[in-house]
Amino acid sequence: MQNAIQELGWFLLAPTLTILFFFGVLPFFYVVYVSFHSWNPFAVDPNMVFNGADNFRKIVFDPAFLNSVSVTVLFVLFAVISELIVGYLLAQAFMRDFPGKAIFRTIHTLPLIMAPIIVGSVWKLMTTPSIGIIPHYLDEWFGITMNIGTSAPAAFATIVIMDIWHWTPLVTLTLIAALVSLPPDPFEQAQIDGANKRQIFWHITLPMIAPAVVATVFIRLMDALRTVDEVWMLTGGGPGSATRFVGVHIFKEVFPKTNYGYGSTISVIVLYLTIVVCWLLYVTMLAPRSKKD
Amino acid sequence: MVDQNDAPLAAAHFEEEGAPPIAQKKAGFLPIETNWFDRVFISVVIWIALSLLWFRVFEPLGLSIWISNAIAIALAVFIVRKG
């Protein structure tokens, strides 16, 4: 009986595992394989040539790559932390009743259903000088001239704000689900014991929703680290290399330059950095501590 | 004379004899609970970080990458066995 259940389990899992193997595991090992080669199929010599760890030697001295990593880390820090704070505040707001709550929640969730490329186009229209609504009102109300085509800080800030606008609803929805599932007893007991709101947040709410927070941060972190389409539509990585995030850098390396070997190396390193960051986050917040003898 | 409260139940006693021994968890030097796969993963992460650091800092000074690999393997064995 037990064997039959196990066989049925494997049978039901087989399609997913097969798809995962052909579209996830196999391409991953292929990218790792290519990362140890020099390969430009449109060059004079289109063959894949094994060059050992030369791509990795080159990458640690590549200023364009190192710049793209630092810009991406900054972007991830600003975007994910802001989304978490705004998302939590909105989730707390949605836990209460207020007039127009249903319509506000619907409108607030709308950006989530938009494709990133559309978000990029819309923000491009809104921020283009002379036709965009944002530079127009910034100039009219505050006398600020905004041009994301020439100002690096403006371009970077616009991308961070665009990402916050696009992805905060996801954080809000996840945190609402976590907050709704919390039992009321610990909160009542804390209030009886005279705990203030800050103490309740740090000692009861946050530890209880920590798994949901970490899961949300994982999702947003991985998404933010591979942001390409929105940035590509809005700034194309510019001005200069101010918004050339790693995703955009890989795109530029692989497609216009057709440098597949080096592009694969960058992809492998970015994947490595993503795994390390997520693992460190997991260890710091969720991993069970070992008891010393 | 056996104290009735301390003596195990006969059925439970026989069942315990037949059951596979429960693996005792040994606390390693790592601050988190890990299994062998976690420790291999940690070793691979350290190996890659060490190699990249070596390429950047030590290889230009003439030190071969194989030294880094040897250190990483020694560290991996230590982490997997004692971690």
Tell me how far CA of residue A49 lies from CA of A36, A44, A55, A56, in angstroms.
Answer: 9, 13, 12, 15
Runs of H (alpha helix) within chain A: 2-20, 26-34, 54-59, 63-94, 101-109, 116-127, 133-137, 152-180, 185-192, 197-200, 206-225, 229-234, 246-254, 260-285
Backbone angles phi, psi at A52, to 5 degrees: 60, -135
CA distances from B69 to A59, A243, A280, B52, B63 (A): 19, 36, 23, 11, 12
Tens of pLDDT, residue by residue over A35-59, are: 999 988 888 888 888 998 899 999 9
Give the rounded percent of residues in chain A with a pLDDT score beyond 90: 52
Contacts of B34 in chain A (CB under 8 A): 290
Per-residue model confidence as pLDDT tens digits over A111-125? 999 999 999 999 999
| Position A190 pLDDT exceeds 70 | yes
Is residue B10 a part of any domain in this protein?
Answer: no
Over 50: is that where the pLDDT of B71 sits? yes
pLDDT at B8: 53
Q: Which residue has the higher pLDDT, A287 or A253?
A: A253
Contacts of B31 in chain A (CB under 8 A): 289-290
The residue among B52, B63, B68, B82 with the most chain A CBs within 10 A of its CB, best to mutate, is B52
Domain region containing B46 = 25-82
Q: Do B55 and A293 touch (CB under 8 A)?
A: no
A291 contacts B27? CB cut-off 8 A: yes
Establish if B18 belongs to a structural domain: no
Residue B34 belongs to some domain of the structure: yes
Average pLDDT of chain B to the nearest whole number: 78
Nearest residue to A72 via CA among A240, A229, A237, A278: A237
* B63 in contact with chain A, both atoms CB, cutoff 8 A: no
Q: What is the pLDDT of residue B2?
A: 46
Domain total of chain B = 1
Residue B3 domain-assigned (yes or no): no
- Predicted confidence (pLDDT) at residue B9 exceeds the cutoff of 60: no
CB B65, CB B55: distance < 8 Å: yes
The answer to whether residue B9 is domain-embedded is no
**pLDDT for B10:** 52
Amino acid identity for residue B55 in this structure: F
Question: How far is residue A224's CA from residue B4's CA, in Å, rounded to a whole number?
Answer: 64
Q: Is the pLDDT of residue A1 over 90?
A: no
Is residue B47, in this structure, part of any structural domain at all? yes
Q: Yes or no: say if A76 and A90 are a contact pair by the CB < 8 Å rule.
A: no
Token pair recorded at residue A107: 């409108």
Residue B44 makes CB contacts below 8 A (sequence gap 6+) with B76
Instruction: Please indicate, yes or no, if residue B12 is contained in any of the structural domains.
Output: no
Amino acid at A177: A
Window B:15-54, CB contacts with A under 8 Å: 26-28, 30-34, 41, 45, 48-49, 51-52
Does B69 touch chain A if contact means CB atoms closer than 8 Å?
no
Beta carbons of A290 and B55 less than 8 Å apart: no
Q: What whole-number percentage of chain B has pLDDT above 70?
A: 69
pLDDT at B29: 82
Residue B82 clears pLDDT 70, i.e. is over it: yes
Give the pLDDT of residue A22: 95
Mean pLDDT of chain A: 89
Q: In this predicted model, what pLDDT tens digit does every residue of B32-66 receive, in sequence order?
A: 888 888 889 999 999 999 999 999 999 999 899 99
Q: C-alpha angle with apex A289: A286 to A290, nearest 5 degrees? A: 150
A280 → chain B, closest CA residue: B42
Q: What pLDDT is stored for residue B1 in this prediction? A: 46
Which residue is listed with tokens 């740090």? Answer: A202
B67 touches chain A (CB under 8 A): no
Domains of chain A, start order:
63-285 (1.10.3720.10)
Query: Under an 8 A CB cutoff, do B45 and A53 touch?
Result: no
Q: For residue B27, give the DSSP letter.
A: P
Residues A292, B32: C-beta atoms closer than 8 Å: no
Assess if residue B19 is contained within a domain: no
